[in-house]
Amino acid sequence: MDHYSIALLPGDGIGVDVVREGRKVLETVCKLHGGLSLSFTEFDWSCEYFAKNGKMMPDNGLEILKDFDSIFLGAVGYPGVPDHVSLWGLLLPIRRQFEQYINLRPVKLLKGIQSPLAGKTAEDLNFLVVRENNEGEYSNMGGRMYEGTDLDMAIQNSVFTRKGVERVLRYAFDLARKQGKRKHVTAATKSNGINHTMPFWDEYVEKIGKEYPDITHNTVHIDALAAFFVSKPETMDVVVASNLFGDILTDLGAAIVGGLGIAPSANINPEKKYPSMFEPVHGSAPDIAGKGIANPLASIWCTSMMLDHLGQREAAAAIIDAMEDVLQEKEVLTPDMGGKATTEQVGDYICKKLRARLG
């Protein structure tokens, strides 16, 4: 029996609803599988926790999390707590301290979903975006000066290190070698306008590229690349980008394959020295929180990525199959996908499909 311990961080808003359905799916898979067991420990760290305790998690929060095999997160952030406070108080410390320097976001059109891009099929829309997750534009270097005067100013520095850039590039090239259909890496850049960090990034793309003679690569300016996601997504295989560029590109990536309600992501520590963290791309969606209509599919897709990372390939694939069953039937879907079902009904229906497939 393979056993894994999972820390649940539902967080705020719809995070709570979608993590509940994800857990349900994981429990169903375990029941049906026989050789797989998961234990769950839930933590209430969130903006509500912040309101009571003045911090997003306890001081020893990371110490508590570090011994789990994986972390499954919903979303954090809620009106009343500034977004930079909630992000820097929970999500970013986890990503950094646990060296989850890879943020992996598949852009894959599942069966049953119609892309808003006319004429593009599942064949065309199937690639992986590797976002650098620890440094780059999301750094806390900088500061504010002259606040409250007419000289008011702010400086935010980007940080690109050789270690940080080389490891994310190697991960992308390795991924193209292992999983790529086209054996190609596209690196996002902006070395025309950003004249220190981006030429540095490009230089390392060339250097690491030489270590992979079997993988082709090119660098594309981020603005053009955004357009190519729409005009010729079929040319993408593995896309690698800095923290900010990867963040923006992947919301666009999500939009061309069905929207935020379905887009998953994995924050990976490839060395497995620390737990990796799996979370939907979407946020806490205060506009629909408490209504029971959040789409749980992004979160459920995350459970598949988590099992895959833990080496449970078969169980991971079964979850995607069950999702595609539900998407193709189009009977039980949440309003963002044109349906009338609740979050819970979609979760239950996925479990039913899993039982039909694995039971």
Q: Which of 295, 322, 293 is nearest to 307 (CA)?
A: 322
- Residue 282 touches which of ligand NAI, Mg ion, none (Cβ within 5-8 Å per kind): ligand NAI
**Which residues ranging from 55 to 114 are in contact with ligand NAI (CB under 6 A)?**
75-78, 83, 91
Dihedral sign, CA of 167, 83, 277, 122? negative
CB of 136 to Mg ion, least distance (A): 14
Residue with Cβ nearer Mg ion (174 or 247):
247
Concatenated DSSP letters for 138-173?
----EEEESTTSTT-EEEE--B--HHHHHHHHHHHH
Given ligand NAI, Mg ion, none, residue 38, with its beta carbon under 5 to 8 Å by kind, binds: none
Q: How far apart are CA 224 and CA 188, in angstroms?
A: 9
Stretch that binds ligand NAI, among 130-138, 184-192, 277-285, 302-310 (CB under 6 A): 277-285
Site string for ligand NAI, 222-261 (x = CB under 6 A): --------------------------------------xx
Of 54-62, 124-132, 187-195, 290-298, the window that binds ligand NAI (rule: CB under 6 A) is: 290-298
For Mg ion, give the closer residue by CB, 17 or 247. Answer: 247
Residues in touch with Mg ion (CB under 5 A)? 247
How many DSSP H helices and E strands does the chain contain? 12, 12
For ligand NAI, give the closer residue by CB, 236 or 263. 263
Structure tokens at 219: 């660098």
Which span (63-71, 239-247, 291-299, 302-310) binds ligand NAI, by CB under 6 A? 291-299
Q: Which residues of 299-328 are buried (b: 16+ CB within 10 A; e: fewer)?
A: bbbbbbbbbbbbebeebbebbbebbbbbbe
R_g of the chain, CA atoms, integer Å: 20
